Structure 1
């Protein structure tokens, strides 16, 4: 289990509504596309972050977290585990409140480093699965 008790609820209900979704493109067949749609249905503003900087679900995309010109509350990470550390570090640098590593994205050292930096952190979980559990 890669979330302390209560952290999932705190991130979903208490950190704010702007979620940068790293790895989100306009490819409807990717999990990030579907999860972002669920987040929107539950009142979250999604911000696509992908090298292509595509508009997805009506929201302007950005190539990197640093390119986003407004505050981000949660960084939801859909990249391979070996690429997730720099994304978490960038989340810390932009002042995000939380980082969420999706199912299969696991790096315990990054988990600890991100928590030590003061951010809430969840790893190897999916908000599209967790949100209905909270209702």
Structure 2
């Protein structure tokens, strides 16, 4: 399941592609980033960082991940974030999306295996782009292979 919708102010749906989301994004908050190398969130963060994105770790149990200050929640981040990449259980996603709306994020991305229709609907109604059940690193690799950077 992938939702790629954005509501404009007239209520009509327009679509911003995964490619456009990744191309037009500089800062990615990674909610649920783990310091464990075996965790998908850790590997995705390293990949995104290596590909020019500014990553912002969000994990209430940590103060630093990958040598970068870690924030307890999205509202604690002192600068703008375009994309919120979510590595949390589906039942925990709704509150993350509420915060993403409050901080003015442009898009929320629920990682592979994460689907929450209510959270997606909330984000969409607030004008955010929504991607569910897809991996940012996998999508980035597929779109921007050698010689075709974002």
TM-score range (shorter-chain normalised) is over 0.9
Partner of 1:9: 19
- 1:23 and 2:35 aligned: no
Shift of 1:7: 2.1
Partner of 1:43: 52
Count residues in correspondence.
Answer: 134
Quote the Cα distance in structure 2 between the aligned partners of 1:53 and 1:66.
Answer: 16
Shift of 1:52: 1.8
Shift of 1:3: 3.2
* Selected match of 1:88 from 73, 93, 97: 97
Structure 1: 5+ residue stretches without partners: none
Tell me the TM-score normalised to structure 2 length. 0.84
- What is the Cα-based RMSD across aligned positions, in Å? 1.3
Shift of 1:58: 2.3
Contact 2:16–2:129 (Cα < 8 Å) also in 1: no
Tell me the TM-score normalised to structure 1 length. 0.93
User: Cα deviations across residues 70-107 of structure 1 (Å, max 9, x unaligned)?
Assistant: 11111000000000010011000011111000011101
Quote the Cα distance in structure 2 between the aligned partners of 1:120 and 1:7.
Answer: 9
Shift of 1:130: 0.2
State the structure with more CA Rg: 2
Q: Which structure is higher in helix share?
A: 1
Distance change >3 Å, CA 6–CA 70, structure 1 → 2:
closer
Contact 1:50–1:61 (Cα < 8 Å) also in 2: yes
Quote the Cα distance in structure 1 between the aligned partners of 2:112 and 2:63.
Answer: 23
1:66-81 correspondence to structure 2 within 5 Å: 66-81=75-90
Quote the Cα distance in structure 1 between the aligned partners of 2:46 and 2:76.
Answer: 22
Shift of 1:6: 4.8
